[in-house]
Structures are given as C-alpha cells and as structure tokens.
C-alpha cells in the first residue's frame, strides 16, 4: 500500500535553467531522503541485478563510456561516475537526447539523500507538457525505489501497472502533476501556461490504455 500524500510530500522538486553545449537548457530536479546508508543506495541505483527490482530491466555496460538500455524506455551512454557519490549519463529516447545526473550524499542523521537532475534543451514537447512530462515519471521511480528499500524485495511489474490505473495511482499522478505545476511557476513560468501544460500532462498520464 502506497501512502500517496506522504510519498508526494517527501520529494523536493525544482525547475531551473543552465547552459549546455547544445544551448540554453532547463533542468528538472527531484530529491528525497531514504532511510538507508550511502553504500546501499548506491548499490540499488547502479547494480544491474538490483535496478530491475524497483525501476526497469537494464542491459549494456554500466561503466564510463559504456552504453545502457532500459527496457521499453531510454538508453544512452554513461559519461561520468564517482562511486558512491554520483554518476551522469545521456538519456536518449524517441530521437531526443537529454542528460541525467544522480547525486547521493549522507545526511547528518545517517540517512542518504538522493538527487537527480534531468536536463534538456526545450523543444515542442517541453513547451506543450512542461516539467511534469518527465517529473511524474521520476516521482513514480522514486516511489518504486522507496518501496524496494523498505521491503528489500523486488517490485511486481504487473502489480505496478495495475496500480497506475487504479484510483490510488491516479491520485498519486494528480498530486505529482500539481506539485510540478507549482515547481514550474516557481521556476518562472506564467501560471496560465504552467496550468495548461500541467493539465495536458496529467491527461496524457491518466488516459485509458488503448485496447
């Protein structure tokens, strides 16, 4: 059982700007603290045998210069790695290239903070859907990681898919979308534009599956 409100409230979200080689870019940042130590969280995020337990099956070489592929999702190239603190990679999906960076750090109470930046040069898709287009997905990823760390077990993919179309899953995505709307406004987007694209993103995530 997912405690939807507490899971949503446990995540910090931010939309910022930066300059990359490809031009002016926008960065979506998610972060939360997990009740585990640094080495365990690093292993959960980088061990190819453990990643599928909470995210997606992954193939390839998880080393600097190696290429990876998440089943049914993005692939890319690992660009930097500083165990057990951070790694960075390209995020290539649907013909578009963006970049992710994961950072781990120990909190004063011994727990571990996870932060992920997803940086992209804005395109038509971004202008239509805004940060929630990737943000809702990252929220669900953080939730899956929390469930795995709490139980130590692998998440059931079929159960996860069923949950996404359940009332509880819809509520999770609705609250996530609203949180990303607020982050979009805090990042400098006009409220009307942010609302339009947050609504479009939520509609896309909650649309009934095609038969």
pLDDT given for residue 155 in this prediction: 80
Nearest to 62 by CA among 41, 43, 37: 43
pLDDT given for residue 156 in this prediction: 82
8-41 residue pLDDT tens: 999 999 999 999 888 899 999 999 999 999 999 9
User: What is the mean pLDDT of the segment spanning 186-211?
Assistant: 91
Which tokens is 129 given?
A: 């859907």
- Rounded Cα distance between 33 and 46, Å, is 17
CB 138 within 8 A of CB 30: yes
pLDDT given for residue 211 in this prediction: 53
pTM, to two decimals: 0.94
């Amino acid at each position: 059982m997912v405690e939807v409100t507490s899971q949503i409230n446990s995540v910090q979200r931010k939309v910022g700007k930066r300059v990359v080689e490809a031009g002016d870019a926008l960065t979506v940042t998610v972060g939360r603290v997990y009740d585990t130590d640094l080495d365990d969280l690093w292993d959960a995020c980088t061990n190819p045998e453990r990643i599928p337990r909470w995210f997606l099956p992954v193939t390839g070489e998880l080393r600097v210069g190696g290429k990876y592929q998440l089943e049914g999702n993005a692939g890319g190239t690992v660009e930097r790695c500083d165990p057990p603190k951070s790694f960075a990679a390209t995020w290539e999906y649907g013909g578009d290239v963006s970049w992710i960076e994961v950072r781990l750090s120990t909190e004063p109470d011994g727990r571990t903070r996870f932060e992920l930046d997803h940086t992209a040069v804005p395109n038509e898709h971004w202008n239509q859907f805004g940060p929630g287009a990737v943000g809702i997905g990252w929220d669900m990823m953080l939730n899956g990681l929390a469930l795995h760390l709490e139980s130590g077990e692998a998440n059931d993919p079929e159960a996860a898919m069923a949950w996404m179309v359940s009332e509880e899953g819809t509520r999770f995505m609705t609250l996530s979308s609203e949180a990303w709307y607020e982050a979009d406004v805090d990042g400098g987007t006009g409220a009307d534009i942010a609302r339009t694209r947050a609504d479009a993103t939520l509609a896309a995530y909650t649309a009934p599956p095609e038969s």
